Amino acid sequence: MKKLGICVSICAKTAEEFIESIKRARSVADVIELRFDCLNEIKPEILWSQIKQIRQNFNGKLLATFRPLEQGGSRNLTPAEREAFWIHSHVFEFVDWADLEADFSAEDINKFWGKAFEKIIKSFHDFKTPPTNLDEIYNRISAGSDLLKIAVRADDVTDSISVWKLLARAKFDNKKLIPIAMGEAGKWTRILSLAHGAPMTYASLETGKETASGQIAAQDLIQTYRVKELNEQTEIYGVVGNPVSHSLSPFMHNAGFKFHNLNAVYIPFEVKDLDEFVMKFVRVETRDVDINLKGFSVTFPHKEAIVKHLDYLDETAKAVGAVNTIKIEKGKLFGFNTDAEGFIVPLKNSYGDLRDARVAILGAGGAARAAIYTLKNEGADVTVFARNLDKTKKLAEEFRVQSSKLKAKTESYRDFDIIVNATPLGTFGEFENKTPLLAAQIENIKLVYDLIYNPYETRLIKEAQKANVPTIGGLAMLLAQATKQFEIWTGKEAPIKAMNAVVLKKLS
Ligand code: NAP
């Protein structure tokens, strides 16, 4: 069987929405999964003729699924209801393939109708922890099937290894297996499985229409991750952090790889336990999977913790005490900090000479460290303000700058030229409507630099506009640090325009 590509899964409550979605899926799907169990009611007289028409104008395959709730379906189904659907509803006349759960046999259908479906997928789903008996499950669903699908839940990235490793067994057995690790931490399996021998990967019709946790929109799989072009030689990069679902880095770096036509892809890796990730995915001597990992970005909360795993550190990373970029070469891990340069380039472009500029940095975390280091190098006069005075004092002593407690909303920052927000206040989610200061506190300030990039215009930026203070948003830093990362990994000039355009589109 040739590689199929993308299977778009359609789940809708009403027949109208169901049919409309199937029609739209045709432009991106190689296979369309019709999740009949999602429908409130199955009315053959309405559905069959429309599905028949859709099938005539579709080059791919239609796959029927009717899954009971306890196996990951959308509603309770009695054995009699399942039998009525598969055997007596004549669905096989209108679709090509069937997805049957392990407890339902194709033989039951075939004894009535002969070979009713062109292909049978046997599937297994587990929504709790990854089961330890995956080989046994694989054996169980192998009989009487053309394709196997095993989907398990991954709470951390390493939970997805056991299901991924079944791919090697399937290759040896000459079987077609679709391994899926569900959840954000399993997204990498959805992106890379085609390249490593799976016949297809499941996708949603669009963002927000996922039928399983961690599913990626078909357009993103095709255009951002280029899953149909990847192979086992593809160089893998990614972002390692927790959370990573909000990250725009996959869009930026993949746009760069595409621009230069590189056989490389950048993937989100949601990592809770960093030590496990390094041991099982990264270190040649101990790793459990080899996906040709060549480097990764490191983000919250691992920027400082990663340092102990590295073989070499560049000067900036050493001085900042945090790493946001790893390059892997001949099994060795090289750490860099591109946040420092990413921070200072837009600031200098906007403000000019920073010598003796009085800069207030709000926040005392990883981003603040990079900012303080590079501002000191430029000769700026830096004060760190944060809510935890002990932590702030320690940081200030380390870098020989001043420190103070974050000001109350009634106190002014009038003694400063530049304010930098390095706290998460204002960022998408729970902090979105928050700001570390109000317009009245920054009259006469020359520049406000908010490191937050999502949303594009934060509450702080709006406060600065109210006070007529010029601003820089976090997108400038995001792009500048990513540009440098791209150059470290590929040795090529980063296509800034293409990378910027894709991020602006995502934020609009
Ligand atoms: P971090 O290491 O977690 O540090 C965050 C700092 O903000 C800490 O000092 C923390 O104080 C403080 N903070 C957290 N919640 C607060 C609150 N409710 N009120 C006041 N202070 C609070 O994070 P980071 O890596 O430095 O990142 C900071 C921000 O910069 C994030 O929003 C991140 O997205 C952004 N950033 C942007 C870029 C870019 O390219 N544009 C790059 C890096 C970071 P405690 O220590 O007391 O918790």
Q: Which residue has the tokens 């560049």?
A: 314
Judge whether residue 109 has pLDDT over 90.
no
Residue 284's CB: how many other CB atoms inside 10 A? Answer: 11
Catalytically annotated residue among 303, 348, 434, 466 = 303
Report how far residue 468's alpha carbon sits from residue 125's, in angstroms, rounded to the nearest whole number. 56
Residue 315's CB: how many other CB atoms inside 10 A? Answer: 9
CA dihedral in degrees (391, 392, 394, 396; nearest 10)?
170
The pTM (predicted TM-score) of the whole model is 0.94
* Burial category of 76 from C-beta neighbours within 10 Å (exposed 0-12, middle 13-18, buried 19 and up): exposed
Mutational test site, ligand 1, from 345, 369, 423, 500, max ligand atoms within 8 Å of CB = 423
Which whole number is the average pLDDT over 203-224? Answer: 97
Using pLDDT thresholds of 50, 70 and 90, give the confidence band for residue 114: confident
* Catalytic (active site) residue 434: no
Question: Helices marked H in 422-507 — which ranges?
Answer: 459-466, 474-490, 496-507
* Beta bridge partner(s), residue 32: 8, 62
Using pLDDT thresholds of 50, 70 and 90, give the confidence band for residue 143: confident
In this structure, what token pair is assigned to residue 10? 């359609």
Judge whether residue 1 has pLDDT over 60.
no
What's the confidence (pLDDT) of residue 153? 95
Q: Tens digits of per-residue pLDDT, 171-186?
A: 999 999 999 999 999 9
Q: Tens digits of per-residue pLDDT, 254-271?
A: 999 999 999 999 999 999
Judge whether residue 399 has pLDDT over 80.
yes
Judge whether residue 13 has pLDDT over 70.
yes
CB contact at 8 A, 223 and 253: no
Amino acid at 222: I
What's the confidence (pLDDT) of residue 81? 94
Q: Tens digits of per-residue pLDDT, 429-479?
A: 889 999 999 999 999 999 999 999 999 999 999 999 999 999 999 999 999
Degrees (nearest 5) of the Cα angle 320, 323, 329? 130
Report residue 279 CA to chain centroid gap. Answer: 21
Q: Which one, of 168, 178, 231, lies nearest residue 201 by Cα?
A: 178
What's the confidence (pLDDT) of residue 144? 84
Q: What are phi and psi of 269, to 5 degrees?
A: -115, 105
C-alpha of residue 386 to centroid of ligand 1, in Å: 10
Per-residue DSSP letter, 240: E
Q: Which residue has the tokens 């951002």?
A: 224
Report how far residue 207's alpha carbon sits from residue 204's, in angstroms, rounded to the nearest whole number. 7
Q: Tens digits of per-residue pLDDT, 58-101?
A: 999 999 999 999 999 999 999 999 999 999 899 999 999 999 99
Using pLDDT thresholds of 50, 70 and 90, give the confidence band for residue 3: low
Using pLDDT thresholds of 50, 70 and 90, give the confidence band for residue 46: confident
Percentage, residues of the chain above pLDDT 70: 99
Give the residue with greater pLDDT, 397 vs 112: 397
Q: Is 426 helix (H, G, I), strand (E, B) or coil?
A: coil
Give the list of residues 6+ apart from residue 377 with CB closer than 8 angstroms, or none: none
- Ligand 1, CB within 6 Å, residue ranges: 300, 339, 342, 363-368, 386-388, 391, 406, 422-425, 427, 451-453, 474, 477-478, 481
